[in-house]
DNA sequence: GGAGTGATGACA
DNA sequence: GTCATCACTCCA
């Protein structure tokens, strides 16, 4: 069996956030649960939030606040925030320093939906602003086999109609196509 | 189709 | 201090 490779931090510092969101599909999201057990789940759904011009990005127009500050950091940190007062959403900060961008992890393994994923993995605000690392209990691995390009679909992002006709429609959401049985 | 839920950011 | 706004999920 081929060992999974850890992903170098430099990989997340690329400014090509949208390409990273696509590449993350099929990578393995790894989590050490509070009870010490380790879960490894293939990422099935992501969304890119890319830079000051992206009106759907929390840090659009370079809005730098206590919450969005982490998006301006170099890639490789987590950005976890509470949505609708109910759900924690897990993002991975991308890009070089001072470029606000992140990839939202919307689904992995059997868990579809960003809120359900964090619940299943016991991810909360405690995991915000942490470098992805095994020591921190949350990291990524590159599996031996990645999905075929043909099996990754690009669609508009979810729940961001407020971002206007352009930014609410750009195909920044990536989802693995479930292969139909033949 | 509609409510719940509470941090966040804008405004005063 | 107040208030409107949400990168969602569940139940009817």
What confidence tier does A179 reach under pLDDT thresholds 50, 70, 90? low
Q: Quick check: is A43 in a domain?
A: yes
pLDDT in tens, A87-134: 999 999 999 999 999 999 999 999 999 999 999 999 999 999 999 999
Domain-located, residue A4: no
For every residue of A82-132, DSSP letters joined together read EETTTEEEEEEE-SSTT--EEEEEEEETTEESHHHHHHHTT--GGGTT-B-
Structural domain contains residue A129: yes
Instruction: Find and list the nucleotides of strand B having atoms within 7 Å of a protein beta carbon.
Output: 4-10
Contact (Cβ atoms closer than 8 angstroms) between residue A20 and residue A82: no
What is the pTM for the complete model shown?
0.94
Confidence of residue A9 (pLDDT cuts 50, 70, 90): confident
Cα angle A7-A175-A97, degrees, rounded to a multiple of 5 = 45
Percent of chain A scoring above 90 in pLDDT: 90
Bases on strand C under 7 Å from any protein CB:
5-10
Q: What is the pLDDT of residues A144-163, one digit of tens each?
A: 999 999 999 999 999 999 99
Q: What is the CATH number of the domain that holds A123?
A: 3.10.300.10
Number of structural domains (chain A) is 1
The domain containing residue A19 runs over which residues? 11-176
Closest nucleotide to A68, Cα to C1': B8
């Amino acid at each position: 069996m081929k060992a999974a490779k850890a992903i170098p931090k430099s990989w997340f510092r690329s400014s090509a956030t949208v390409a990273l969101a696509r590449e993350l599909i099929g990578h393995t999201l790894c989590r050490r649960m509070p009870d010490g057990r380790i879960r490894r789940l293939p990422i099935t759904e992501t969304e890119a939030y890319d830079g000051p011009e992206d009106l759907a990005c929390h840090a659009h127009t370079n809005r730098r606040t206590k919450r969005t500050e982490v998006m301006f950091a170099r890639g490789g940190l987590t950005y976890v925030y509470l949505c609708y007062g109910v759900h924690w959403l897990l993002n991975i900060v991308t890009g070089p320093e001072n470029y606000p961008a992140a990839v939202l992890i919307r689904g992995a393994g059997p868990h579809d939906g960003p809120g359900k994923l964090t619940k299943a993995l016991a991810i909360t605000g405690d995991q915000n602003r942490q470098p992805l690392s095994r020591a921190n209990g949350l990291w990524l691995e590159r599996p031996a086999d990645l999905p075929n390009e043909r099996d990754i679909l690009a669609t508009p992002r979810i729940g961001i109609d407020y971002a206007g006709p352009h930014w609410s429609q750009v195909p920044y959401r990536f989802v693995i196509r479930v292969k139909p049985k033949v």
